[in-house]
Amino acid sequence: MPDIRVELPGGDVDELLPLLDGAVFANLSPGVDTDEVPSRSGLGELFGNRGPVVPLATWTPGEIGLQHAAGQRTAKLLGERGCAVPEGWYVVSDHPKRGLVLRTYQAPSTETVPWLVQAATVLCPLPIVGPWVALVRSR
């Protein structure tokens, strides 16, 4: 089954949520002006200790992830910026290059996906000027 691409104006996930029933994963990216994204050298990309400048949020049943360029201790940083990891979720990994991975257990996508969009918004260093884009992979 082909991936489904969904535009999410203003990060509104309402249109996305029904597509997640039976989905394997979904990747979400904020709509930034691609001309504003600073380029990185190949060596910096390979050996650097930072994730992508434009955050990449990933949802899977029971787990979410967020690649970003915000550096270390992202869970703490999110809490300081008003987007704390919800109680009952478990921080699996909080690595500057591989990103933040959270086990969300049985939390429904109606809770995990909006939090993920909010967290990616907080960590995005560029203005979000366009709709978010989600790619959903179904079974």
Per-residue pLDDT reduced to its tens digit, 45-68: 555 566 678 889 999 999 999 998
Model confidence over 6-39: pLDDT tens digits? 999 999 999 999 999 989 999 999 987 666 656 6
Q: Supply the pTM of this predicted model.
A: 0.86
User: What is each CA distance from 78 to 4, 42, 118, in whole angstroms?
Assistant: 29, 29, 10
Q: Which amino acid is at 23?
A: A
Look up residue 13 and give its DSSP letter.
-
Contact 138, 23 (CB under 8 A): yes
Which residues does 3 contact at the CB level (< 8 Å), separation at least 6? 135, 136, 137, 138
CA angle 60, 64, 67 (to 5 degrees): 120
